[in-house]
Amino acid sequence: MADEGTKTKQMCPECGSNRLVRDFDRGELICATCGLVLKDKFYDMGPEWRAFDSEQRDKRGRVGAPMTFTIHDKGLSTMIDWRNKDVHGRDISPTSRAQIYRLRKWQRRIRVSDAAERNLAFAMAELDRISSHLSLPRSIREAAAIIYRKAVEQNLIRGRSIESVAASCIYAACRQRGVPRTLEEIAEYARVDKKEIGRSYRFIVKELNIRINPTNPTDYIPRFSSELGLSSHVQQRAIEIINQAIDMGLTSGRGPMGIAAAALYIASIEGGERRTQRDVSEVAKVTEVTVRNRYKELQERLNINIDV
């Protein structure tokens, strides 16, 4: 519903009234007197800065979660009274009683479909917001939206927050397309914690029978190594190490990020571009201890010697 009578300096070109009203749900500016729609995009949600890679975007982004778009009708909706009395308290005639009964029925129907629409719109906005923060390609966002719609169709949202389901759809879409983002990264921008997202994710994947390959640690390498400023040579070597590790079955049951981190650590030292365990563990979002454990293992089993 529209905000009540936000007065602006502008005048309606149709009727000359200055009672222009903003409808935030649709992003429209409307004349309250004659109903003319003046602009259908009075705000621009896009950032005023440009970013050329995800790091820059992270640094420049300062958009937080909106606080008050969750109350679905902002308490402004009208309800037809259940009593069969008119405004003067008199009984309503049987003929108009039947009419009013039909009106009530329709109002109920419209209101629920209205709420469903709104929830969907909210979820889509949430998908957009998160995926733009993570610089995800359009195709992933679309995939996430499709998953979300399926979840709605099968009534999987009930009992779960829209936010957590939206976030888990993004996670699922990323996993499906081999563009891995960690749960952490998604949780950073979603208004739900990692645990919640993980729970919804598992549930939805199970219920919708989405087939998801186990994450390959090599998928993380390009992103991590670019964040560490490592050369493509080192990057290549890290992938090589991981593939060897996979062949020897060293990766099963291990967290893919830990493996990726360890391989990058080894490769960076071999290539003379040493990064500290701390640096590597930071971009991979694991602890130094994990990096250490993994890299000790890899070093031992693959007979890699690092002379410092």
The site string for DNA over 182-221 (x = CB under 7 A, - otherwise) reads -------------x--xx--x-------------------
Helix intervals (H) in the chain: 54-60, 94-133, 138-153, 162-177, 183-189, 194-208, 221-227, 232-247, 256-270, 277-284, 288-301
Q: Return the structure tokens found at 28.
A: 């429209």
Give the whole-angstrom CA distance, residue 252 versus residue 249: 6
- Of 218, 306, 224, nearest to 269 by C-alpha is 306
- In whole angstroms, the minimum distance from the beta carbon of 151 to DNA comes to 19
Residue 255 binding DNA, by CB under 7 A? yes
- Give the CA distances from residue 176 to residues 130, 139, 171, 198, 219, in Å, rounded to whole numbers and listed in that order: 17, 11, 9, 15, 12
By CB under 7 A, tell whether 277 contacts DNA.
yes
As measured in angstroms, the least distance from the Cβ of 288 to DNA is: 7
Window 289-308: residues binding DNA (CB under 7 A):
289-290, 292-296, 308
Q: Which region, judged by CB under 7 A, interacts with DNA, from 101-109, 151-159, 164-172, 249-257?
A: 249-257
Full DSSP string of 2-41 = --TT---S---TTT----EEEETTTTEEEETTT--EEES-
Q: How far apart are CA 64 and CA 62, in angstroms?
A: 6
Residue 30 CB, shortest distance to DNA, in Å, is: 46
> With the C-alpha atoms ordered 236, 240, 243, 249, is the resulting torsion angle positive or negative?
negative
d(CA 278, CA 291): 9
Site stretch for DNA (CB under 7 A), options 108-116, 147-155, 226-234, 284-292: 284-292
Q: How far is the CB of 279 from DNA (least distance, A)?
A: 7
Q: Report the C-alpha gap between 290 and 11 in whole angstroms.
A: 64
Is 276 among the residues that bind DNA (CB under 7 A)?
yes
Question: Which residue in 254, 271, 283, 298 binds DNA (CB under 7 A)?
Answer: 254
Least distance between DNA and beta carbon 4 (Å): 44
Site for DNA in 161-180 (CB under 7 A): none
* Longest CA span, the chain: 97
- Nearer to DNA among residue 239 and residue 266 (C-beta): 266
In the complex, the smallest distance separating the C-beta of residue 295 from DNA, rounded to whole angstroms, is 7
- In angstroms, give the least distance from the CB of 169 to DNA: 18
Nearer to DNA, 67 or 308 (CB): 308
Of 28 and 288, which CB lies nearer to DNA in the complex structure?
288
In the complex with DNA, the residue whose CB is nearer, 157 or 291, is 291
Of 256-275, binders to DNA (CB under 7 A) are: 258, 274
Residues that bind DNA (CB under 7 A): 195, 198-199, 202, 253-255, 258, 274, 276-278, 285-290, 292-296, 308
